[in-house]
Structure 1
Amino acid sequence: MKKTLLLLALTAASPALARDTVVKIKLADVFELPEAKQKLDGTVKIYLDGQKTPSVKKTLGSDVTNKKTNAVGKSDEFACKWATLSALIALQEGAKKNGANAVVNVVSYYKKVEFKSATEIECHAGTMVAGVALKGDYATIGK
């Protein structure tokens, strides 16, 4: 009986022990990952809100992507870079499907709370998982 009560008490306390560390990742650092150079083919340009962009000829809708990665045994920074890359790949694929050559006005959108930066993405790292949510507009831009 005592073991059951102890197990119930520990289970009830688990959410209080959950970790949610905010990590800011420089977009330029993600683009430098070898995997980014393989997976992001350059046909779709990505611009954070606040970054200078070429003239937008046409907006083709907006989208939100929410990507998570296994963070076990990884530093918060590495896990967050990986989750950010996954989110960028999803935006690249969405842009291609919508006939866009860019994603503009990109903001972090974790739990529907916007974080705007011209250089950084917000990531949330936990004990087991790291996650990035991005929101942006698909567009065709001039050269």
Structure 2
Amino acid sequence: MTLKTTLTAAAIGMVLSLGMAGSAQARNDFLMQPLASVFSQPEAQQKLDPSIQLFFADQLHPDIDTRRGGYYVSHKVSSVFKSDEEACRQAALESLLDLQKRAREVGANAIVNIISYYDQRANPNNDRYECHAGNVITEVALKGEMVTLDKQ
């Protein structure tokens, strides 16, 4: 084998391996999904605690009596054999359940200013949440403020 043939074979090998590496990279698709689809799931209706109210972004809420601190959650779920929408709904529900669990722990009866907070970037929205769908894992990150609302 000549030096020229060896170099040509090596160059072709590098080009092919670079091409394959690009197609094998992990997917991280940014999706904005409707909150209504999370709340309409039977599982959400069974598991979410109606005694801990949820208010997204700048939704109006009753006056705050006591502030009990902010909290951040990030939930990852398997996206294998699921549509992006299904995996996003599941991750969002798990994140909301984690927020409600924290609210119970600190004695709050509501969570206000709930926003998407993926990669420490705020994305406030009253009707949608941010989801990052991948080939294997889908993630939803939320942040909210634990409060006790005035009982009127």
TM-score class, shorter-chain normalisation, is: 0.7 to 0.9
Residue equivalent to 1:116: 124
**Partners of 1:31 and 1:66 in 2: how far apart?**
18
Residue equivalent to 2:81: 73
Alignment of 1:18-57 (within 5 A): 18-57=26-65
Report how far residue 77 of structure 1 moved. 0.7
Tell me which of 87, 95, 99 is aligned to 1:91.
99
TM-score (norm 2): 0.83
The one-letter amino acid paired with 1:17 is Q
**Partners of 1:27 and 1:56 in 2: how far apart?**
24
Residue equivalent to 2:6: none
Tell me which of 20, 25, 31 is aligned to 1:17.
25
Q: Within the alignment, does 1:126 sit opposite 2:123 as a pair? A: no
Report how far residue 36 of structure 1 moved. 0.5
**Partners of 2:68 and 2:23 in 1: how far apart?**
40
The one-letter amino acid paired with 2:142 is L
Higher Cα Rg, which structure: 2
**Partners of 1:137 and 1:92 in 2: how far apart?**
11
Structure 1 unaligned spans of 5+: none
Q: CA RMSD in A?
A: 2.0
**Partners of 2:80 and 2:135 in 1: how far apart?**
7
The one-letter amino acid paired with 1:93 is K
Tell me which of 127, 133, 143 is aligned to 1:135.
143
Give percent identity, aligned residues only: 39
3-state SS of paired residue (1:72): coil
Moved more, 50-59 or 132-141: 50-59
3-state SS of paired residue (2:59): coil
Per-residue CA deviation, residues 56-75 of structure 1 (Å, 9 max, x unaligned), is 11110011000011001111
Report how far residue 14 of structure 1 moved. 6.1
The aligned length equals 137
**Partners of 1:92 and 1:116 in 2: how far apart?**
19
Residue equivalent to 2:109: 101
